[in-house]
Amino acid sequence: MIKIYHNPRCRKSREGLALVESSGKDFEIINYLEEVPSKDELRKVLEYLTLSPEQLVRKNEAIWKEKFKGENLSDDQIIDAMLEYPKLIERPIVIKGDKAVIGRPSKKIIELLK
């Protein structure tokens, strides 16, 4: 089953969801702002994305700039920051099997769903 970590207030996330819906495949929507993933789930997502925690952070968010920018944070500390402030997690994330993409640009989602 396909999973999409979705923020309904984000235009790119809505575009990604529309692509997943149009695929005709079964999928699950995870509104990660309300259903914050566990630390283990977030680690698994990072593994599927083949990214470091820092690469998944939305560094232009005010919370990042105010609380974390310029800090020398470990991967665990960055993951903890994303879990405490899920708005920091880049979106949308689409997972299919053991592969995942951040849907920016949205063509990455199209490739994953093939």
Q: So which residues are the catalytic ones? A: 10
End-to-end CA distance of the chain: 13
DSSP lists the bridge partners of residue 100 as 95
**Chain centroid offset of residue 60 CA:** 15
Q: What count of other Cβ atoms lies within 10 Å of the Cβ of residue 41? A: 15
Q: Which two tokens stand for residue 79?
A: 């993951």
Tell me which amino acid residue 46 is: L
